[in-house]
Amino acid sequence: LKKLADDNLGQVFTIEGVVAALILVVALSYIISSITLVSPQTEKSTLTKLNIKAQDILNVFSSEDIPGKHTSNLKRWVSNWGGTEPSVSQITSPSEPSMIALNDSISKVLLKNMAYNVYIYYYDSTTTQVSKTLIYNGEPSDNAGIATKLIVLNKNDSVNYTDSIWADMDMPKTVEIKIVVWPI
Amino acid sequence: VDMNKVRSDCDQGNLNFDFLVGLTIFILAFAFVINSIPGIFMPYASNLVDLGSVTYRTSCILAEDPGWYNNTQIKFSYSDWEAGNNVEKITRVGLAVDKKSPNVLSAEKIKAMKKLPYEKSRDKLGLNGSLVYDYSLTVTKLGNPNNVELLHVRPDITNGANVDSLERVVLIREGEGLVMDCKGAPADNDLQINNASNMPRLEGNATVRLMNRVTDWAWFQNRIYVTYWINNFSTMPIDIKTYPQEYFSIYKNGEYVSDLNSEGCKSNDVIDIVVNCSAINELSPARNLTRINVFAMEGIPQNIKYEPPQKYSPFESIYFEYFNTPGIMRLEVW
């Protein structure tokens, strides 16, 4: 019997070792299954998609809407702009119906989880470059899509030319519209 | 032979239990690693590296290119592949109305693509080269209040395939004509009074689009009048409804309706009235259809004139527009 008690052959000695190995395998499989493999291009392609979306929006609203007239909604909205920027608490200035129309149209084609700002750049009558905000939804995030479009404004593009900001400038005038789109 | 010694002291020919467990764990772990190795290299597989650019390329062909067909028999090629039997000679699928209007899709081409077999359209989109891709495409017209799916090319996605998707913002062009937007129109009832002698006669089909009514309405509440000018004098405007059906046709939300009166209209329905001007002119030699007036019982403007061709535009009226509706084109490639 004494011999039987001393006999340690055929027994599991290192139960701690087995348990540790099992824990390691379980932990490893959990980690590997929970991470999604990200290819190096993923971030770049998301940004490309935002850029495409931004460019699409400007293309869509600056496409000709009256046959043979070279007019577009964007052109009309910008030429009717009175020059007022939105204040800190506003998305668009309430005194600018054309910018409210622009904002409505963009929000219709963008998904709910996207925000956007629209800016305008032009040279005023004193050859100073002016940059102003047309639509403001907040500060864009780092990965934002950007697109710009040059528009040539003529006097007869506007239905209220004398009230617009362009009334005391030389026409035709070339302005640049910039849209910044980012996910929220 | 001492039997006791054989039973308790002899450990030859036994498998060590520790070793057995250790080996099992090792084999399990090894199998797991082997199993997951293909997944580790998946993002670097050749068809996945260029999946993004293939998706972008295909979306550009669809949204910015009008397509092409090539009739080798008469040696003629052009981009109206959707017309007639040209679709049999198609060399490239494209949905844009023309090369100068990116993101403006032709409703006619969308209709034609619906009938195109999947394998053929995939071939003509350039997805059937040395690497074969599958694609799915939906074009949705953003409506008020309902979105309408105009095109739905969707084969089953292969299980476990990596899918890249891209959404393009587009305009869907359903033709051109006089747009009577009852909500957004300016309060200008009398737009222009032309000298009658300047007005050439209207030919072909002229379309009047009524939209954005405030309330539900009946067809009889709207009066589409046509006016003839004979020797610089106008006849009395005649309601188009007094003509037989072959001289005009009515479309509700893009679908032909034979009897709008019994079907009824909701306020948000878009009604297109297509007047066959040539047919009305041909009713008698003296007829010269020069103007279509639109009267509506509700909404401003009350009286829009469908003016005839002038210098730049086919119809000189500021309400003569393209029927453009915003939409979303969604493309998936795998």
Q: Is the pLDDT of residue B301 over 50?
A: no
Q: Are B189 and B218 in contact (CB under 8 A)?
A: no
How confident is the model over B162-178, as a mean pLDDT? 86
DSSP reduced 3-state for B166: strand
> In the prediction, which pLDDT does B18 show?
77
Query: Is the model's pLDDT at B288 over the cut of 70?
Result: no
In chain B, residues 40-59 whose CB comes closer than 8 Å to chain A? 40, 42-44, 48-49, 52, 56, 59
Is B29 touching A (CB cutoff 8 A)?
Answer: yes
Gap between the Cα atoms of A171 and A34, Å rounded: 61
3-state secondary structure A120-139: EEEECCCCCEEEEEEECCCC
How big is the CA angle at A148 (ends B333 and B174), to the nearest 5 degrees? 60
What pLDDT does B220 receive?
52
B positions 66-125 inside 8 Å of A (CB)? 101-104
pLDDT at residue A56, as a whole number? 92
Residue B9 to residues A8, A12, A137, Cα–Cα distance (Å): 10, 18, 84
> Can you tell me the mean pLDDT for B234-250?
71
Chain B residues in contact with A4 by the CB 8 A cut-off are 8
Minimum distance, in Å, between the CA of residue A11 and any CA atom of chain B: 7
- The residue of chain A nearest to residue B311, with distances taken between CA atoms, is A68
Out of A35-44, B161-170, B300-309, the most confident range is B161-170
In whole angstroms, what is the distance from residue B325 CA to residue A109 CA?
A: 11
* Closest CB to B142 among A3, A68, A108: A108
Contacts of A28 in chain B (CB under 8 A): 29
**Cβ contact (<8 Å) for A109 and B326?**
yes
Closest CA of chain A from B244, distance in Å: 30
Quick one: average pLDDT of B318-322? 72
Give the single-character DSSP code of B131: S
pLDDT of residue B231: 47
* Residue B105 confidence class, pLDDT cut points 50, 70, 90: very high
User: What integer pLDDT is reported at residue B299 of this predicted model?
Assistant: 43
Q: Is the pLDDT of residue B2 over 70?
A: no
Beta partners for B239? Answer: B225
- Determine what percent of chain B is predicted with pLDDT higher than 90: 8
What does the DSSP assignment read for B223-271?
Answer: EEEEEEEETTEEPPPEEGGGS-GGGEEEEETTEEES-HHHH-B-TT--E
Q: Give the closest residue to A114 by CA, choosing from A141, A96, A94.
A: A141
The whole-number pLDDT of residue B300 equals 41
Which of B49, B171, B321 is nearest residue A66 as measured by Cβ atoms? Answer: B321
CA dist B334 → B45, B139, B171, B268 (Å): 13, 18, 26, 38
pLDDT at B241 over 80: no
Identity of residue A72: S
The per-residue pLDDT for B40 is: 66
What pLDDT is recorded for position B148?
82
- Of residues A80 and B222, the one with the higher pLDDT is A80
pLDDT tens per residue across all 184 residues of chain A: 666 666 666 555 667 777 888 899 899 888 877 766 555 566 677 888 889 999 999 999 988 887 777 788 888 888 888 888 888 888 888 778 888 888 888 888 887 788 999 999 998 877 788 899 889 988 888 889 999 999 998 877 777 777 788 888 877 888 999 999 998 8
Chain A residue with CA closest to B326: the answer is A109
Find the length of chain A. Answer: 184
The pairing of beta strand A173-183 with beta strand B68-71: unpaired
d(CA B211, CA B188): 17
ipTM of the complex: 0.74
- For A32, name the nearest residue in chain B, comparing CA atoms only: B36
**Nearest to B103, CA basis, from A177, A46, A152, A52:** A52
CA B312 to chain A, closest CA, distance in angstroms equals: 6
**pTM, entire model:** 0.72
The mean pLDDT of chain B is 73
Using CB atoms, pick whichever of A4, A40, A69 lies closest to residue B312.
A69
- Of the CA atoms within 13 Å of residue B309, those in its CB half-sphere come to 7
